[in-house]
Copies of this chain bind each other. A is one copy, B any other.
Amino acid sequence: MIIVMEENASEEQVVKVVDRLVNLGFDIHRSTGARYTILGAVGSRLADIRSLELLDGVQKVVRVSSPYKLAARSFKPEGTRIRVKDVVIGGDQVVLMAGPGVIESREQIEVIADALAKKGVRALCGSAFRSSSDPFGFQGLAEEGLKILREMTDRHMMLAVSEVTDVAQLNLFVKFVDIIQVGARNVQNFALLKELAKLNKPVILTRGVSSTIEETLMSADYLMISGNHQVIICESGIRTFETYTSLTLDVSSIPIIKKLSHLPVIADPSRGTGRRDKVPPMARAVVAAGADGLLIEVHHDPEHALCDAAQSLTLEQFDKLAGQLRVTASAVERKL
C-alpha cells in the first residue's frame, strides 16, 4: 500500500499516519521528496483504504497488491482449462451451452435437447427455480425440473447446466447438475458462494449488472480461496444509461478478463440484450472478441414459452447462428 501525503502536509500529520499504520501491523518505508512525502506500507493485513484517506494530510492511498490473488492471471499464466466429463472449457474449442430459459415440461426439454444434440451442442441449460418479480407467475418445476434435465442430458451425453438461487437448493444441484450457474443478482451473495466453494463442481459466476470486472474477479477469488478452483466467469450485461436494450453487453470485458485472469470467460447474449434479434450479432461479437463459450436461450416454440420468450431463439435461428459462429471462431483460430 502506498500513501501519498498532501503537498502541504505537516510533519505531525505524517507521523500520525505512520503511527496508525504501525499499529495496524504494517512496516513503513518513508520517502521524503521535494514536494511530496510518500509512505510505503508493507504487511499482510487488509487495511480499510477509505479510513486512511480520511486522515489529515493524506492525499491518496493506493493499493499495490491486487484485491484478488487466485483468480489473477499471474497465479496460473498458462490459463485454466476446466474439464467436465469430455467437454473442456477454456481450451481450443468455443463451447456452446444452450437451452430454454426455464424448464417447463418433460416434452419441452425432450424436443429441445433432441434438436440441440443433433446440432452438436454439448451442454443443455435450463432453470428449475425461477426468481420472478411476478409473485403469481410460474416459479419453476424445482426438483422435478432438475430430474428432467438430468434424464435428458444423460440420454444425449450432454452436460446439465442450471442456475441456483438459494443455498437450500444446493443438495439437489450436487445430485443432478454438472455445472452450477450463479446469476447476476447473486455474484456478491457471499453466503451462497461460501457453500459453493466447498463443492467439487464447476461454477459459472455471472457478473452483476453493476459489478466492475475487479469486483467480479474478487467474487471468483472468494470461491477459489475456500477450495473450488473450477470457476467460469460469465458476462451477461451491465446497466448503463442506454435504454434501448435492458442491459448493455460489455463485450470488452471478455479480452480484459482474459488478460487479468486465467479463468475461462463466457457470455450470455440472451440476457445481455433481452431481444432475440440482437442475440446473433452479439453472439458473434463475443466469439470474435475471444470468449471461451456462450450461453444461449433457445426454445422450440417461443410464442408459447412460459418466460423469456423475447430473448429465445427458435431452433432454426440457432442453427443458422451456429454456422456463423463456426466461421467467426476460425478468425481467432478456434473451433466450435
Contacts and interface: CB of A to CB of B under 8 A. Distances in A.
Contact of A50 (B48, B167, B219, B275): B275
Interface string A51-74: 101100001101011100000001
Chain multiplicity (copies): 4
Given A240-B248, A242-B238, A256-B278, A191 B131 contact: yes
Category for how many chain A residues contact B:
35 or more
Interface in A207-259: 208-210, 212-214, 218-219, 222, 225-226, 238-246, 248-256, 259
Contact of A250 (B188, B248, B311): B248
Contacts of A133: 188, 190, 218-219, 222
Contacts of A278: 252, 255-256
A286 to B, nearest CB: 7
A265 to B, nearest CB: 11
A15 interface: no
A38 interface: yes
Given A133-B219, A214-B244, A254-B281, 4 more contacts: A212-B242, A284-B331, A285-B285, A328-B331
